Structure 1
Amino acid sequence: MLPVIAITMGDAAGIGPEIIVKSLLRESLFEHCKPFVIGNAAVLQREIDHCGLPLRLQLIEDPQAGNYRHGLVPCIDIGALPADLPYGKVSAAAGDAAFRYIEHAVKLSLEGKADAICTAPLNKEALHLGGHPYPGHTEILAALTGTEDYSMMLTTPKLKVIHLTTHVGLLRAIELIDPERTYRVIRLAHDMLTRAGIERPRIGVCGINPHAGENGLFGNGEEREKLVPGIERGRAEGIDATGPYPADTLFFRAARGDFDVVVACYHDQGHAPVKVLGIEAGVNITVGLKGGVIRTSVDHGTAFDIAGRNEADERSLLAALHAAAELAPKGARG
């Protein structure tokens, strides 16, 4: 039984539509899942024509009505955007539409009509102009599912990273970290990796300051105050969590196999190593959503600078689709 995966189109002015149709051209994808798009049919058709792909749109209203075979692009058409929407331009209409795609995907997932959601990139400025002042996908999904305890995990073939904080400034990130948040993220990582088949995941926690504070030499004791109690609480419950370690060596150790996942304290601390390892293989996963909602995403943005040039690389979306299929419940509605 193959899982049904909802692909949200993202910002129509970016590379989302292009990487979606290029991914659905891969015949092997249909051996792992049943993918359909929630987006704008006219924009998708423009990309099919622009890239010269032998694909045909199939308009559907319900995922169960999709004919999931190579050569077809099942699509739920949400709202009206002009087919000639300019490439690479911030647009309130595109931002609002991107939100509506996610909203519908969550609805289908909660109704049990989609087994996982895979999101193409949106533009935060356009999203805000469209009336949706969220920092990004993760926060939207949390709000739509009523989830308070969640985190962002980035994965590559060699490295998994989960974050204590994400889309906030560095000073605010340090303020937000506390023992409870540290423990909760460690627990989220442990539970997700356990469900994925890792019996006792090895979790390494990054320090906040250089050299993890060097026993108080750097910083103001943030590691001792904000991280250590959360780590100790997890260990008391049988979780294999250790640290805090200096970030400059922890990622190297994790990439060589010493740890199954790294807990990063703030956005760039976790994102930079993942993207150095290869942005085309990166997958973004939202961990802890209520209602059993599973969401994966590309680990890159809308790339307005190359939108419309037929130059976008679809490999990150393909990796995200395969991750969604792997995380979807077994015995899904084939």
Structure 2
Amino acid sequence: MEYTSNHWHRLPQELVDMILENLVDEYNSDPVYQWTTLRHISAQQKRRIEKQFLEYWVPKLTVTLYSGSWVQIDYKSDAKASGSDCEDGIVHFQAPQDNLSDHVNQERLAALWHLYGFENRVAHLRLGEGVLNGGIREGHIVNDTELVGLKVGEDGMTISFDWKQTMDGLLREEMLMRKFQNEMISQRIQKLAKANQWPPSLADQRVELVKQLVLDIQMRKRVEVQKHRLDRHDPNGAARLGSLSRESAYLHKQPTPPSTPSGARTACCSICSRQSGPSIFEVASQEESVVLALDGWQQLDADELLDLYGEAFGWGCCRCQGKEGDLEWQQKRKNQWMKVGTGTAKEKLFNQTYVRWDPLG
């Protein structure tokens, strides 16, 4: 649609505004498209969308700080933030006292935030947990996008940042991932069709796409976005991507930094002794559903959706165990997952919306 064409100028301004408002409203459930595309159609709609984001989406943004592999501290929007703070683009988030682990005090929080930087994203952003994609499980956005203009309180319990620039980075990278993902899916379908391996039925095609997404595309699209981020941050290539960690190498399949001598084990196993938090690849492998990347998933019945979630879980287990070609193992793990919990397929899909990264998988 060409919004600046002569056809638009011939219409009464009130009618144009009404059409654009209806268009924006149609995408209320897709903040990525609203922000990256519809926000630019007119100055009036830009003001309206930014106001809506500040009032609706910023309170649904969570900043999670990691301490090792087990502890996650969530920072949420401070409801007491003044209007002047919002007007200059700064928002204040805080971690509730009861959200702190017995193993993390305020001094430790401040020390963790001191480590935050381009090469060490010790905090991740989550948008729309339990809300996006109709509240279906694993439907939120998660990324290690930069907190622009980050300032940390002395006690480590409060942070402030530029919400517009941060939201812009988060949603632009999400849109870029959609672009890479669509291109990769199209290329993979062509390759499978050329080899006569593309199934004829739509249901079987969806099953095949889930496999391709889990074993390759889901992580490869994130690698491309990370490389794009690095090119913009440091064209000379002196900086490195801290997200490409050794622990997540089985996911991103990229060269990793040399191993560093590990200190004395302080706990029962390597997981408990791990000093670093999870990389975005580890988090996305558990929190981002590839099923929601399928065209038309909203029109599928709950039973098929749940079955596709089971397919994804099975292939995720194969990816983790290095058994990517083992269909028998994948089906075994899928069947075990399908038996977990009680209730209808719809209840299983919508009653567990907050799926968070767990070091034990």
What's the TM-score, normalizing by structure 2? 0.23
Q: For the pair shown, which has the larger CA radius of gyration, 1 or 2? A: 2
TM superposition score normalised by structure 1: 0.24
Higher helix share: 2
Structure with greater strand share of residues: 1
